[in-house]
Structure 1
Amino acid sequence: MENRWAETHTDPLDACVYGSRLLGGDPDLVLHGGGNTSVKVTTADLTGRPVDVLYVKGSGWDLADIERAGFAPLRLERLRELLTLPSLPDGRMMNELRCALLDASAPDPSVETLLHALLPQPAALHSHADAVITLTNLREPRVAEVFGDRVVVVPYVMPGFALARTCAELFARHADGDTVGVVLMNHGLFTFGEDTEQAYARHVELVGEAEEFLARHRPARAASAAALPPVDPLVLARLRREIADVAGHPVIAGRHTDAATAAFVARPDLADVAGRGPATPDHVIRTKRVPLVGRDVAGYAEDYRRYFAEHARPGLTMLDPAPRVLLDPELGMVTVGRRAKDADIARDIYAHTIGVIERAEALGGYRALPAADLFDVEYWELEQAKLRRGGAPAEFTGEVALVTGAASGIGRACVDALRARGASVVGLDLTPTPSRADYLGLQVDVTDAAAVRAALGRGVERFGGVDVLVACAGVFPGDAPIADLDQETWRRTMSVNVDSVATLLGAAHPLLRLAPRGGRVVVVASKNVPAPGPGAAAYSASKAALTQLARVAALEWAADGIRVNTVHPDAVFDTGLWTDEVLSRRALRYGLDVEAYKRRNLLGAKITSAAVGRLVAELCSDTFACTTGAQVPIDGGNERVV
């Protein structure tokens, strides 16, 4: 492991921020909010009196991008007083920690604050380093063999007051001048120093030694290991539907097929090694205790209910029994979450778990904590409180929308509106758009049927299914009287505006049938359907045909629980269809200047892409749960239509 420290900081907290980011930026050390860091300083309080302060990572902050504001300042003297108590329930402990803050607006301190407080050195860093966890999760742990007396080894104790007290007792008994760290079994590594730079150097050194030890016992990789090929999208969509039904809400289910995953799911002992539990207990919040091996979702849920019944204490409410990780020789790994971000976190965690398991198996056998210990973390009162504080999810959370014409205009506005309400979105457009956690941008010509079907497949592999389809892609060929209309223009307009949507609807229908809350389709047509204008024969006819296509789909698909509605925008001038030239010609035709032409509606309203996007999203909501086959204008009121 490389020591990447390259900056000088005179302020101890700035140095702690920098060291924390180095730690958090390495996924082999810290994943998604894991780990914590601290530094002790002496400062003056409001009265000018000197006070010893512990700055510790605040809850909700990620080490990878933490800032000074992410550290909670606490009175060190008070923390050390708390450590003299014989016991302190976690809820009371967190209250006492907040009472010890110097800043009432600071984030909640880390649950491991008291452990940081007991260490005499000024700076401390804590990670869940894969290499160290591997050493602790062996049938015969090898921590002492690798680190000798330089670390104090602490048997597993659940984080909180009890862990801090145990560490205090063992540290007092075993630490000496050569001690540079603490190894928490099944949990991770603490290192400390006179400043954060020294604590970081020691951290890198110990993790590097663990990595070198493991490298000498590297597991053999299957020579034929290769990424898994695509599967029928309906297989994934059905699986996602089963998981959503068990969970009680829609979910995102992403498939992962890289070579490392393919090799792991091909293991003949997959059910055995995967069924032993997570590499460290805090992962149980994201991955549950064990993955589902195979595809028996109902069986997994029944096993989970038995697990809960066996370990539950009075007053606990069972979390949903759906798996968060599924391992299958054909599918690879499928990870599940309410949001794409949650599914991705489960993916990242289990990808690292695979590495820990395989290295541990090469060293004599992987061993996780007993189910009872893992249950205590999964149903920890602090985690339960955190879930309750999270509030209700956004309306489309767990649902997947596919939008065509997604790069600009109304299409982009629909993407934004759906994402704002919690949906994950697949966007198709000729113009490439950057992907992010909840958005998959694909460069696709919607008139290419094969490319559209391939894009649907990629979308399902990324998010698990399709719940909402919004057809926005369209072309306006420009003004031309019928007498001058050439066949190529006519055919191109029909191909984009009608034919491509017919192809997309046919390909998407089997996926929409599997939507957990029922499929929804919104087709973006035009005011030109009820009120065409001269010079727009190809555009008006294509949008009229599109509207008829949507009406027939509403008739045919209602029995499948799919509703299909149409919006008719007009005068949406912030789209690519309206060039300055077209606007000038249209305004001149009506004897108006351009600005007057833009507000040529009964309300004198300015119609924007964002307004259309909001309407489209609302049509997909429960507000319109009993509506299908509708045609909704968004035009400010048009006297030719009204």
Structure 2
Amino acid sequence: MENRWAETHTDPLDACAYGSRLLGREPDLVLHGGGNTSVKAVVTDLTGRRVDVLHVKGSGWDLADIERAGFAPLRLERLRELLTVPSLPDDRMMNELRCALLDAGAPDPSVETLLHAVLPHPAVLHTHADAVITLTNLREPLVEEVFGDRVVVVPYVMPGFALAKECAELFPRHAGERTIGVVLMNHGLVTFGEDTEEAYARHVELVSAAEAHLARHRPTRAPAAPLPRVDPRDLAALRRRISEAAGHPVIVTRHTDPAIAAFVARPDLADLAGRGPATPDHVIRTKRVPLVGRDVEGYAAEYRRYFERHARPGLTMLDPAPRVVLDPELGMLTIGRRARDADIARDIYAHTIDILERAEELGGYRALPPRDLFEMEYWELEQAKLRLAGPPAEFTGEVALVTGAASGIGRACADALRARGASVIGLDLTPTGSRTDYLGLRVDVTDTAAVRAAVERGVERFGGVDVLVASAGVFPGNTPIAELDPDTWRRTMAVNADSTAVLFRTAHPFLELAPRGGRVVVIASKNVPAPGPGAAAYSASKAAVTQLTRVAALEWAADGIRVNAVHPDAVFDTGLWTEEVLAQRAAHYGLDVEAYKRRNLLGAEITSAAVGRVVAEMCSDTFACTTGAQVPVDGGNERVV
């Protein structure tokens, strides 16, 4: 581990925030909100009295980007008084911690707050360092061999009051002059110092010692053959079974890098992966064990038995679906309610693979017993966090494919679906970039092979396609039929109609496997029921795609797929409406541009966002009994009405 400290801070809390960020940006130490840090200081309260305060990381803050506001200030004297009681249930402890705050607006203190209070040193840093956890998760742990008297070793105890009490008893008895840290078995590393810089340097020292020992025993990983291409329909079918086990749609992401390929090729894969997570905290994201193979139903049945063996009265079982799948052909699949959750499971299990392999090389990997892991998975404080998150958005766990997604109506549809929880695969000629819940692909929708490849990439990223929005389109400008260029006609038909037929054919196998039933919305046009002069190619192409939509509604209803169309009109914030075209159309009707924009019964200006909201609603349960419909979004048009 490299010492990256490069700043000077005179304020102890600023130094703690800086050191916390250094730790939080090291994925081998901290992943996705893990770890906690603190600094003790003296402040003057409102009465002018000097008060000893513990500033500890607040719940919900990530060490990677924590600022001063992310630390909860608590009265240190009160925290140490709490440690004199024989027991303190979790809910009472958290209430007492809130009562000890100096600032009612501060975040909830870390559940490890009392551990930080126990240690007498001003600065305390706690991480889940991979290298240290590897040394603890062995049949014969190597902590004392590697660290000697530089650390006090604390057996595994559930985080919170019990762990703080254990440390309060063991630390004074075993700490010596050379002691610079505490190793929490199966949990992580704590270091301390007179200031955060010293505590950080000690963290570097101990983690580096663990890494050096592991480097001398690096596992010999035989090169594995690249994983084969998998029929994306098989991934979508597996996702549907996982969703059924979970009781709701999920995102499933495939990972096939060389390290994963080598791991899933191990002859002892089921045994090694089935021993449990590297640290109990991970069970919240990955469950106790991954599914090895593809027997989702068998995994769910075994999870139910696991729950029944360990459940105490009053507990409600979490969903029994896996969060990680390991398969010799598929590689690793990670599962989550959202793409972010699947990505967190990926990050955690990628580190777990390294820990498993290193520990096995050092004499045999050993995780905590199932009972301890169950207690963490069903820990009341974790359950409370889930309840505070509230119900998920409507399309959470679902995947939408949107064409023409870079601008105008297509972009508005993508934004509306994402706002309601969906992950989106966006296709467009213009690059749009990607984010956690959005995969932007540069694709010409008239290129059949490119569309097929893009759908396959989308399925590997998110697991399937539940919603299809065909929005890509071109408007060739006003041209009388007598002057119509054949190439313009063919190009307009190719983009607006032909490409949608190809898209339908490509997407159908995935829509058919959608956990809540497939949904298709085609962006047609007011020109279908009421064409205008000079737009023959555009009007004909939109009429063709509308007829295609109607036929699809007839053919796909038996597959549980509903297919509808919307007919927007006068949506002037799209690429179809250049200033020149807008001026021409306004002049044709003898209006100025602003009046032309509101030339509808309601006098409304139609926006892309308005169309996007309608499209998203048509994909919701509000329209669960509707297919084959054509819905105008035009403010009311006399010729249509």
Give the TM-score taking structure 2 as reference length: 0.99
Residue 326 of structure 2 corresponds to 327
In 2, Cα distance between the equivalents of 1:228 and 1:99? 55
Residue 277 of structure 2 corresponds to 278
Q: How does 1:358-397 map to 2 (within 5 A)?
A: 358-397=357-396
In 2, Cα distance between the equivalents of 1:228 and 1:579? 48
Residue 635 of structure 1 corresponds to 634
Residue 263 of structure 1 corresponds to 262
In 2, Cα distance between the equivalents of 1:498 and 1:234? 25
Residue 560 of structure 1 corresponds to 559
Residue 91 of structure 1 corresponds to 91
In 1, Cα distance between the equivalents of 2:237 and 2:413? 26
Residue 542 of structure 1: how far off its partner (Å): 0.1
Q: How does 1:213-228 map to 2 (within 5 A)?
A: 213-223=213-223, 225-228=224-227
In 2, Cα distance between the equivalents of 1:434 and 1:464? 19
In 2, Cα distance between the equivalents of 1:96 and 1:203? 30
Is structure 2 residue 316 aligned with structure 1 residue 312? no
Name the aligned partner's letter for residue 283 of structure 2: V
Deviation string for 1:310-341 (max 9, x for gaps)? Answer: 00001101000000000000000001110000
Residue 424 of structure 2 corresponds to 425
In 1, Cα distance between the equivalents of 2:229 and 2:101? 53
Residue 54 of structure 2 corresponds to 54
Counterpart of 1:556 in 2: which secondary structure? helix
Contact 1:256 1:334 (C-alpha < 8 Å) held by counterparts:
yes
Name the aligned partner's letter for residue 129 of structure 1: A
Name the aligned partner's letter for residue 428 of structure 1: L
Q: How does 1:123-142 map to 2 (within 5 A)?
A: 123-142=123-142
Contact 1:521 1:564 (C-alpha < 8 Å) held by counterparts:
yes
In 2, Cα distance between the equivalents of 1:8 and 1:433? 40
Is structure 2 residue 435 aligned with structure 1 residue 443? no
In 2, Cα distance between the equivalents of 1:191 and 1:198? 9
Name the aligned partner's letter for residue 7 of structure 1: E
Residue 204 of structure 1 corresponds to 204
Counterpart of 2:565 in 1: which secondary structure? strand
In 2, Cα distance between the equivalents of 1:270 and 1:567? 51
Q: How does 1:174-213 map to 2 (within 5 A)?
A: 174-213=174-213
Residue 171 of structure 1 corresponds to 171
Residue 177 of structure 1: how far off its partner (Å): 2.1
In 1, Cα distance between the equivalents of 2:503 and 2:555? 15
Contact 2:396 2:420 (C-alpha < 8 Å) held by counterparts:
yes
In 1, Cα distance between the equivalents of 2:585 and 2:241? 53
Is structure 2 residue 526 aligned with structure 1 residue 527? yes
Residue 41 of structure 2 corresponds to 41
In 1, Cα distance between the equivalents of 2:228 and 2:49? 67
Residue 228 of structure 1: how far off its partner (Å): 2.2
Name the aligned partner's letter for residue 452 of structure 1: V
Residue 346 of structure 1 corresponds to 345
Residue 557 of structure 1: how far off its partner (Å): 0.4
Name the aligned partner's letter for residue 377 of structure 2: E
Name the aligned partner's letter for residue 379 of structure 1: Y
Residue 82 of structure 1 corresponds to 82
In 2, Cα distance between the equivalents of 1:500 and 1:79? 66
In 1, Cα distance between the equivalents of 2:222 and 2:494? 48
Contact 2:72 2:108 (C-alpha < 8 Å) held by counterparts:
yes
In 2, Cα distance between the equivalents of 1:160 and 1:346? 24
Residue 154 of structure 2 corresponds to 154
In 2, Cα distance between the equivalents of 1:487 and 1:328? 52
Aligned-residue identity in percent = 84
Counterpart of 1:209 in 2: which secondary structure? helix
In 1, Cα distance between the equivalents of 2:91 and 2:118? 20
* More displaced stretch, 83-92 vs 311-320: 83-92
Residue 390 of structure 1: how far off its partner (Å): 1.4
Q: How does 1:569-608 map to 2 (within 5 A)?
A: 569-608=568-607
Counterpart of 2:200 in 1: which secondary structure? helix
Name the aligned partner's letter for residue 79 of structure 2: L
Deviation string for 1:508-552 (max 9, x for gaps)? Answer: 101001101100000000000011011100000000000000000
Give the TM-score taking structure 1 as reference length: 0.99
Gaps (5+ residues) in structure 1?
A: none
Deviation string for 1:57-109 (max 9, x for gaps)? Answer: 11111111111111111000000001111111111111110110111111111
Contact 1:564 1:628 (C-alpha < 8 Å) held by counterparts:
yes
Residue 227 of structure 1: how far off its partner (Å): 4.2
In 2, Cα distance between the equivalents of 1:30 and 1:229? 33
Moved segments of 4+, more than 3 Å: none
In 1, Cα distance between the equivalents of 2:239 and 2:98? 41
Residue 229 of structure 1: how far off its partner (Å): 3.6
Name the aligned partner's letter for residue 439 of structure 1: Y
In 2, Cα distance between the equivalents of 1:293 and 1:229? 17
Residue 17 of structure 1: how far off its partner (Å): 0.7
Contact 2:38 2:57 (C-alpha < 8 Å) held by counterparts:
yes
In 2, Cα distance between the equivalents of 1:178 and 1:154? 17
In 2, Cα distance between the equivalents of 1:339 and 1:545? 36
Name the aligned partner's letter for residue 41 of structure 1: A
Residue 502 of structure 1 corresponds to 501
Residue 21 of structure 1 corresponds to 21
Counterpart of 2:42 in 1: which secondary structure? strand
Residue 230 of structure 1: how far off its partner (Å): 2.8
Contact 1:229 1:257 (C-alpha < 8 Å) held by counterparts:
no
Residue 504 of structure 1: how far off its partner (Å): 0.5
Residue 12 of structure 1: how far off its partner (Å): 0.7
Deviation string for 1:538-575 (max 9, x for gaps)? Answer: 00000000000000000000111100000000000000
Name the aligned partner's letter for residue 634 of structure 2: D
Number of aligned positions between the proteins: 641
In 1, Cα distance between the equivalents of 2:496 and 2:288? 49
Contact 2:39 2:54 (C-alpha < 8 Å) held by counterparts:
yes
Contact 2:149 2:176 (C-alpha < 8 Å) held by counterparts:
no
Residue 455 of structure 1: how far off its partner (Å): 0.6
Residue 486 of structure 1: how far off its partner (Å): 1.1
In 1, Cα distance between the equivalents of 2:313 and 2:45? 44
Residue 48 of structure 1: how far off its partner (Å): 1.3
Is structure 2 residue 543 aligned with structure 1 residue 544? yes
Residue 387 of structure 1: how far off its partner (Å): 1.2
Deviation string for 1:194-244 (max 9, x for gaps)? Answer: 111111111011101111110000001213x25424311111000000000
Deviation string for 1:7-43 (max 9, x for gaps)? Answer: 1111111111111111110100000010000000000
Name the aligned partner's letter for residue 37 of structure 1: T
Residue 234 of structure 2 corresponds to 235
Counterpart of 1:354 in 2: which secondary structure? helix
Contact 1:226 1:258 (C-alpha < 8 Å) held by counterparts:
no
In 2, Cα distance between the equivalents of 1:158 and 1:230? 43
In 1, Cα distance between the equivalents of 2:268 and 2:221? 15
